[in-house]
A and B are shown apart, each in its own frame.
Chain A
Amino acid sequence: MKFKKLTTLVICGAMALSLAACGSGGSSSSGSASSSAASSASASASAKSEAVTSSSSSGAGESVSSGSSASAASRPDLSGKDLSGLKLGMAFRHGSNDTYMTSYFQHMKNYAKTVGVDLVLLDAVDDVTKQTNQVQDLIQQKCDVIMIWPVNSESSVAQAKSVQQAGIPCLMCNSNVTDDGIDYTVGFVGPDDYTEGYNAAKQAMTDLGSSAKGAKVLFVEGVNGQQQAQARKEGMQKAVEEAGGTFVDSQTSEGKREKAQQVAENWLVKYPSKGDITAIMTFDDNTAVGVYNAVKAAGREGEFPIWAAATGDYSIISGYIKDGKIAGASLQSPITESETALDWACWIALGNDLPSKSVFIDTPVITKENFDQVDQGNFEKLI
């Protein structure tokens, strides 16, 4: 009896330790878009919002997707084309994970109806096994093109291969396969994560002026191993170092606002004096809000700028970037990204090729100075 009680106590203790040891885990570790910054935020194709700071969204060499990239914001001319006979399939990562993905998912559905194409849109709810099954279902349904926003970049290699083996073009959206799967796909439509990070950080360093040289920058990472988060970090770091600054510290937020706030709170204790921190940069807008909350609670608002690599959530853009609480970010529109992806999928289904292996969408840098140029119609407010 005593041994039984002791063992029960030990097990409960082990459970407690296991909970402490567990990472946040969450979604797959690479490839998929994360949180509300989402992958690409691009201004509408009519390009009203050309940012004050130029940001070419064409691949800056070390982009997520390999191969050459088309110029930003290009969309095919589908006028006069009969799309009613086309059947498209999309295996989507998670239709309700965050504001960006929800907007993308809902708009993709509506836009398909608007252009008159038959779109089978399946939601894997971040389950890689479900997505594998859904890709098989789309193959069975004999789609003309299958689009995949992967739950996991490594696992999507096998998925893309099975689509190609079925004789169907496979188009990756928002997050790409890993390099060994590129040949199974016809291409990628989405953001250039590296360039987003680079452009946002470059603008940040420009705005710092003389403080840029020797700048001490703290960086909040996304989920460990996630390709998109990694690419944005590399882009930001490159721009910071080019301007003479350094990443003094870099920690994971596990993709969560609350964790980002905790990380920032610890930093504010570790670097207590004015001048200890030149800027804080984050991999997305959601975590930037977490950092801002910590900074505000510590009463150090305005001491240094907070920059995000990318933003795709209008509530954050209007609530934080508009009045400078978050200094700026590369702008992504789930509306434009989803429409661009669907347009190119139709183009491929009509028997054409992508202009290049990667089609990156426009992601201009937004700050409070050019906030007026943000077209609210490019984002959807969710109730």
Chain B
Amino acid sequence: MKKVTKFLSVNTSIPILIGIMIIATILDVSFLAPGNLFNVFNQNAIKGIMAIGMSFVILNGFFDMSLCTLLSLTAALACGLQPKIGVAGAVLVALLVGLLVGIINGLLVAYVGINAFVVTLALMLGCRGFAYIYPDEQSISATSDAFRAFGTGKLGPLTYISWLYIIGLLIAHYVLRYTSHGRNTYAAGGNASAAENAGINVRKTIFINFVICGVLSGLGGVLYAAQNGASTPALGWPDMHMLVIAGVVLGGTKLSGGYGNIWYSLIGVMILGVVNNIMSITNAQPWVSTFCTGAIMIAVLIADKFLSDARARAGLKN
């Protein structure tokens, strides 16, 4: 029991998720229906995939704002290029654009040393421009039936996209936990100069993490296009990046870097998903959802601070 209590006090997002689910059930018992729970997971799988990429960057001590418009651009490319080069070619080009944006972000932050906020904001605006210029400010329907079928198809109760998310979580867990890049990410995020002194190539680590985030953000756009059967220039605008960052932080990963894991991101994204689901079930205004998300974030961060301080004091006493 003591172990469980300690586990829950370290991983505060778990009792918070459980608490929110209990509140949701009290408000409407249909929340607990298996169909609804799977629905929540399916609805948030794409955000979850993007949160994987964002987690790498946040663990490294940065964040990426360009996500919200990059996904619109890659969605447009994934749809718009299908008639010309086929669906595989279109998806590949879209992912390459995500890769390119990640490379630019990584180079400027890691090697030139410019503030990540400025760099990723600039890329966000640039991608927004291209996301409107390329499709001539229009929506583009996906022509490939296979593409659309992948976006909406299911295997059991989960969509193909959800299964892709699960695979992504497992790969990300392995990389963070068992590879040198993962260890370097935590080290560089915790204390960059100490990591540098320990012989870690901090710049390369930062660069790789921005590239991972760029590719996964681009993938997010492709998946939204598959799910919706079309791209829209305003996809993701104005706050998709904030929701993804919120999901990562809500789960317990520290924005300052060096602390967290990929499962925290899963929990954080699901907390946001459950809150939105409750709003739909109870027919609440969307602004109530936004307010609740903000309130929960503050509560999580305050609780985490108290618990961290308590642990530190307990450590000092011993």
Contact = CB atoms under 8 A, between A and B. Distances in A.
- Contact-size category for B: 35 or more
A157 B281 contact: no
Given A15-B122, A25-B234, A28-B234, A141 B152 contact: no
A123 B129 CA distance: 27
A175 to B, nearest CB: 12
B128 A22 contact: yes
A25 B133 contact: no
Interface in B84-115: 108, 112-114
Interface in B277-303: 277, 280-281, 283, 285-286
Interface in A111-135: 120-126, 128-130, 132-134
A154 B141 contact: yes
Interface string A210-243: 0000000000000111000000000000000000
A27 B128 contact: no
B210 to A, nearest CB: 15
A132 B227 CA distance: 9
Contact of A158 (B108, B121, B228, B276): B228
Contacts of B141: 154, 157, 178, 180
Q: Give the interface centre of A4, A19, A27, A132 by most chain B CB atoms within 10 Å.
A: A132
Interface stretch (A6-14, A46-54, A307-315): A6-14
A140 B138 contact: no
Contact of B281 (A7, A12, A137): A137
A26 B234 contact: yes
Given A22-B128, A154-B140, A136 B43 contact: yes
Contacts of B119: 11
A21 interface: yes
Interface residues of A, number: 53
B82 interface: no
Contacts of A18: 122, 125-126, 128-129
A23 B285 contact: no
Q: Give the interface centre of A120, A125, A141, A154 by most chain B CB atoms within 10 Å.
A: A154
A153 B141 CA distance: 10
Interface string B228-272: 111011111100100000000000000000000000000000000
B228 A137 contact: no
Nearest to A91: B280
Interface in B114-155: 114, 118-119, 121-122, 125-126, 128-129, 132-133, 135-141, 148, 151-152
Nearest to A10: B122
A155 interface: yes
A14 B234 contact: no
Contacts of B235: 128-129
Given A11-B114, A18-B128, A121 B283 contact: yes
Contacts of A123: 285-286
Contacts of A11: 108, 114, 118-119, 122
B228 A128 contact: yes
A3 B112 contact: yes
Given A11-B108, A29-B233, A122-B283, A23 B137 contact: yes
A160 B176 CA distance: 40
A106 to B, nearest CB: 11
Interface stretch (B34-42, B178-186, B189-197, B211-219): B34-42
A39 interface: no
19 contacts: A3-B112, A11-B108, A11-B119, A15-B122, A23-B137, A28-B232, A129-B236, A132-B228, A134-B280, A136-B42, A137-B39, A140-B35, A140-B39, A141-B30, A154-B228, A157-B141, A178-B141, A180-B141, A225-B137
Interface of B: 30, 33, 35-36, 39, 42-43, 46, 108, 112-114, 118-119, 121-122, 125-126, 128-129, 132-133, 135-141, 148, 151-152, 224, 227-230, 232-237, 240, 276-277, 280-281, 283, 285-286
Given A21-B129, A128-B235, 10 more contacts: A4-B112, A12-B118, A18-B129, A23-B233, A25-B237, A128-B232, A133-B43, A133-B280, A153-B139, A158-B152
